[in-house]
Amino acid sequence: MNAPAPHHLTTDELDAILGGTTIERASAHVAGCTICRTMVDLDRRVVDALALLALVDPSPGFAPRVMARVSIHAPPVEVTVRALSAKRRVAVGAVLVTAAVTGGFVWAASHPAAALAWADPALQGIGQTLWTSLQAAAANMFEQPWFDGTRDLLAAPARAVPVLGAAASLYAAALVGLRRLLAEPVPNARW
Amino acid sequence: MRTPAAWVPLSDQEVVRHAVMGRDSAYRELIRRYQRPVFSLIYRMVRDRELAEDLAQETFVKVLNAIESYRPEYKFSSWIFKIANNAAIDHLRKRSLDTLSLDGSPHAQTADAVEATTLQIGDSRESALDEVTARELGTQIEQAIGKLRPEYRSCILLRHVDGRPYEEIAEILDLPLGTVKTYIHRARNELRIYLTDTRDE
């Protein structure tokens, strides 16, 4: 006769034993209970037999047959990839330029003497060049025959002031008129 | 384009993401990963190779054509097994199958076809005697599985042949966890009784 078995194995305990987990109470019970030991042995035999069942392959043409019936809705992958690449290039360029400019400012702030020593001749040269270019352009324009009237007008400020005043007034009136026009509600506007 | 080996390290969810982007090879990879387990499950449920091929094909077509509706918070395996199991159960409800095609499909016309359609038992035995014993046991267990209720059959196959955890089986079969445990326990009981009876005969 077996030792008294207060509780036979629960299903969870049986699962645990079959899964290889050791539960002290369950193991102790199984050791002394013939019924549960037999059940564990038989269940283990069943589980082992099930585990031996091999997976079965479908016939060789299975995948192509499935693929022939599948509709692949491809989004415009190429366009997306290109767009992403273009954006990435712009972003990388912007980052590099920003980094270079910021780095330049930081360097100049930390080395003011060297920065000025380098910048002064360069700035002077650039300023000189720009001023000479501007003078040349202005002189060239005013030398043209169709600027005779303008030259005459600027030569006599008494005549230039009312003309410029009239032009400024006309411009201001045009601005006011345009603003009022834009403030009007437009029926069925579709912008 | 990725080579088949390049897909191996990717999770199912990642492969699905490539499939949603329209990559043909991602679809093929999903088929490659699941054709054996899905086909095996359906085959052991309906016990007819040609029918199992049709149902497995329907399963894959349904899953792959709806790949955009896949929700990555769920396991892909649960989704495809759910559809496969439903296909098999629906079929079994429409038609009861009594004959077990352990010796090959009844539609097989040649010896090669019979061999090809015969259910395979694991062949990792060391000796010929072990192999024969294992084959006999495998044959008995296949027959026993065929006698189970379809719900028990799904549970026991997913648990002890595919090695799916209880939680996933509950998700696949849309059943409470407790019910899944009960079904598996009852299925094992029935298999145990069947095997004991067979051994005693």
> ipTM score here?
0.76
Query: For the residues A45-74, what does the mean pLDDT come to?
Result: 89
pLDDT of residue B131: 62
- pLDDT band at residue A58, thresholds of 50, 70 and 90? very high
On the question of pLDDT at A174 being above 80, the answer is yes
Interchain pair A62, B53: CB under 8 A: yes
On the question of pLDDT at B189 being above 80, the answer is yes
Is the separation of the CB atoms in A30 and A36 below 8 Å?
yes
SS3 category, B175 = coil
Structure tokens at A155: 């030569």
On the question of pLDDT at A49 being above 70, the answer is yes
Query: For the residues B12-17, what does the mean pLDDT come to?
Result: 91
Structure tokens at A48: 């082992």
B130-167 residue pLDDT tens: 666 667 777 888 889 999 999 999 999 999 999 899 99
- DSSP alpha helices (H): ranges in B8-110? 12-20, 24-46, 49-65, 76-94
- pLDDT band at residue A5, thresholds of 50, 70 and 90? low
pLDDT of residue B105: 45
pTM of structure: 0.60
pLDDT of residue A82: 62
d(CA B87, CA B55): 6
Q: What distances in angstroms separate CA A57 from CA A54, A107, A188, B33, one per listed residue?
A: 9, 69, 67, 11
- pLDDT band at residue B82, thresholds of 50, 70 and 90? very high
pLDDT of residue B154: 94
Interchain pair B39, A58: CB under 8 A: yes
On the question of pLDDT at A116 being above 70, the answer is yes
- pLDDT band at residue B101, thresholds of 50, 70 and 90? very low
pLDDT of residue B85: 94
In chain B, what residues touch A9 (CB-CB under 8 Å)?
none
d(CA A114, CA B30): 65
Structure tokens at A170: 């006309």
d(CA B179, CA B182): 5
Query: For the residues A129-158, what does the mean pLDDT come to?
Result: 82
- pLDDT band at residue B102, thresholds of 50, 70 and 90? very low
Structure tokens at A160: 């230039």
On the question of pLDDT at A8 being above 60, the answer is yes
Residues 53-72 of B with CB under 8 A from A: 53, 56-57, 60-61, 64-65, 68
Q: Which of A69-73, A184-188, B32-36, B169-173 has the lowest mean pLDDT?
A: A184-188
Report the residue from A15, A39, A67 with minimal CB separation from B27. A67
On the question of pLDDT at B175 being above 90, the answer is yes
Is the separation of the CB atoms in B23 and B69 below 8 Å?
no
Closest C-alpha to B41, from B58, B27, B61, B55: B55
Q: Which of A52, A69, A78 should we substitute to test contact with B (largest number of B Cβ atoms within 10 Å)?
A: A52
pLDDT of residue B145: 92
Is the separation of the CB atoms in B64 and B30 below 8 Å?
yes
Q: Which of B2, B69, B141 should we substitute to test contact with A (largest number of A Cβ atoms within 10 Å)?
A: B141
- DSSP alpha helices (H): ranges in A5-142? 11-18, 24-32, 34-51, 62-68, 77-110, 112-142
Residues comprising chain A, all counted: 191
Report the residue from B22, B35, B37 with minimal CB separation from A77. B22
On the question of pLDDT at B80 being above 60, the answer is yes
SS3 category, A189 = coil
* Residue indicated by tokens 């005013």: A142
Whether chain A has a CB inside 8 Å of the CB on B22: the answer is: yes
Query: For the residues A78-99, what does the mean pLDDT come to?
Result: 78
Structure tokens at A157: 């400020």
Q: How far is B109 from chain A (nearest CA, A)?
A: 15
Q: Which of A58-62, A81-85, B59-63 has the lowest mean pLDDT?
A: A81-85
Of residues B95 and A111, more confidently modeled = A111
pLDDT of residue A145: 79
Closest C-alpha to A26, from A8, A51, A49: A8
- Taken in order A104, A107, A111, A114, the sign of the CA dihedral is negative
Share of chain A above pLDDT 90, in %: 20
